[in-house]
Structure 1
Amino acid sequence: DHGTVEGSLKAMQLSRRIKVIPGQEIKTKQGEILVYGLEWDLPEGHDLRKTCQKVKRSGGYIVIPHPLDPTRFSVRKSLSQVLDLIDGIEIHNSRTPAPFNHYARKISARFGIPGFAGSDAHMLSEIGKAVSDAEGNPPFGKQVRIIKKQYSLLPRIGGFIYKLFHI
């Protein structure tokens, strides 16, 4: 959800078979970030680096969504300021034009930052168009550590859906 963790907290209460990770998309002064693992709302509109530092101090995880998409409120001009703080970068966003996803993959590889895929769903029909997947059911923090060790992006047969697999 944009600006709130409320939806994921409700999903956590209702879900029995699907692991739900609390998360929210936060708008900073320099662009949007995805925050996972915190069960409270972060204030929006603050400095990017300071917000990322607060997330890390609180035990959360940060993924940069649609990092190079010029049509979105991305952190593309400020990405270098937080490379040392982020846990991942979105290398496939189902709403982002392919060339920008391509360059996001290059940044991920160049700096050794784990790549994630996301639907960025704004409508029900968009849910699941791109997903990041981890084997088993480890806590989210462990999933991030697993993905940081080794990962690859593989297409799901028959569409534009991508999955992130641990090798």
Structure 2
Amino acid sequence: MFRVDPHVKILDEHVVRRAKQRGLDAIVYAPHFVRLDEIRARARRFADDDLAVVPGREVFTGNWRTRKHVLMLGLSDPVPDFITLEGAMAELDRQDGVGLVPHPEFATVSLGPEEIRQYRDTLHAAEVYNPKHREYQNERAQHIARETELPGFGSSYAHLHGTVGEVWTEFEGGLDGPESVVEAFRNEEPRRVFHRDGYGHALRRHLEYAHLGYENTWKKIDRLFLSGTEPTHPKNVAYGGRFDDVSVY
């Protein structure tokens, strides 16, 4: 079996050590508002023979008030935030990337059944357990995955070090390196979702949920995207104007 935590927001020595302590074989590193080249470089820095680190991008589509998140793996070229959902999915398809649905239908920032059906050919899994979710929200996510016939996955969605490895997705058979993790999702390989339990897990869930307040403040996003020169703003010079026609800012 091969254990993957498919959505981690932080990456340093503490994350690597905790991932190994929890018996993980791989993590997907997908921080907010960081360009793909930087994510790849950091992933290479912290990967080793015992832990594969897969670079990913959780792209914020739409504007701040109507945003929908898409977790993208296997990208060959960078994709900015705050472009239309249609534009983001077209780019994911052009690159033959792998699309995952994080926290489906959660807090108005996620894809729901209608969008999943529309882009089903480009999407490869839906998250069915997220520590930030309440129980009814995880149950709703499981229902959405079944309803749309998407395989499930579970992740720690760790913004805090202690949450790494609280949830994992276990694939059958051995995988070897970041590319094989991407292909396992692309090919919708058999998998099971596990999470820790008990008081420790409950505490981690509450701490992550409390952190959510900071993640969703207008003050933060206004600071990040006020000038249009930030790393993943669609009109940043790094994108060479390729996304100007689908930019929402």
State the TM bucket, normalised to the shorter chain.
0.7 to 0.9
Are the structure 2 counterparts of residues 21 and 40 from structure 1 closer, same or farther at C-alpha, using a change threshold of 3 Å? same
**2:186 counterpart of 1:153:** no
How many equivalent pairs are there?
A: 159
Higher fraction of helix:
2
Once the two structures are TM-superposed, the CA of residue 149 in structure 1 deviates from its matched residue by 4.7
Give the one of 95, 105, 110 matched to 1:58: 95
Are the structure 2 counterparts of residues 14 and 101 from structure 1 closer, same or farther at C-alpha, using a change threshold of 3 Å? same
* Matches of 1:130 and 1:33, distance apart in 2: 19
Partner of 1:164: none
Letter of the 2:182 counterpart = G
Are the structure 2 counterparts of residues 59 and 24 from structure 1 closer, same or farther at C-alpha, using a change threshold of 3 Å? same
Are the structure 2 counterparts of residues 157 and 73 from structure 1 closer, same or farther at C-alpha, using a change threshold of 3 Å? closer
Once the two structures are TM-superposed, the CA of residue 108 in structure 1 deviates from its matched residue by 1.3
Q: Trace 1:1-167 onto structure 2 (pairs within 5 A).
A: 1-4=31-34, 5=36, 6-16=38-48, 17-29=50-62, 30-38=67-75, 40-70=77-107, 73-76=109-112, 78-134=115-171, 135-138=173-176, 139-146=180-187, 148-156=188-196, 160=201
Letter of the 1:151 counterpart = R
Partner of 1:165: none
* Matches of 2:126 and 2:86, distance apart in 1: 15
Once the two structures are TM-superposed, the CA of residue 128 in structure 1 deviates from its matched residue by 1.7
| Cα-to-partner distance string for 1:86-125 (whole Å, 9 max, x where unaligned) | 1111111111111111111112122221111111111112
* Matches of 2:183 and 2:115, distance apart in 1: 28
| Cα-to-partner distance string for 1:101-154 (whole Å, 9 max, x where unaligned) | 1111112122221111111111112222212233412412331145x2533434
Are the structure 2 counterparts of residues 12 and 109 from structure 1 closer, same or farther at C-alpha, using a change threshold of 3 Å? same
Letter of the 2:184 counterpart = Q
Mind listing any 5+ residue stretches in structure 2 that lack a counterpart? Answer: 1-30, 203-249
Maintained 8 Å contact 2:116/2:148:
no
Aligned-residue RMSD, C-alpha = 2.5
Larger radius of gyration between Structure 1 and Structure 2: 2
Mind listing any 5+ residue stretches in structure 1 that lack a counterpart? Answer: 162-167
Letter of the 2:55 counterpart = P
State the TM-score, normalized to the length of structure 1.
0.80
Are the structure 2 counterparts of residues 27 and 157 from structure 1 closer, same or farther at C-alpha, using a change threshold of 3 Å? closer
Higher relative contact order (CA 8 A, sep 6+): 2
State the TM-score, normalized to the length of structure 2.
0.56
| Cα-to-partner distance string for 1:62-82 (whole Å, 9 max, x where unaligned) | 111111212x62223744432
**Taking every aligned residue pair, what percent have the same amino acid on both sides?**
24
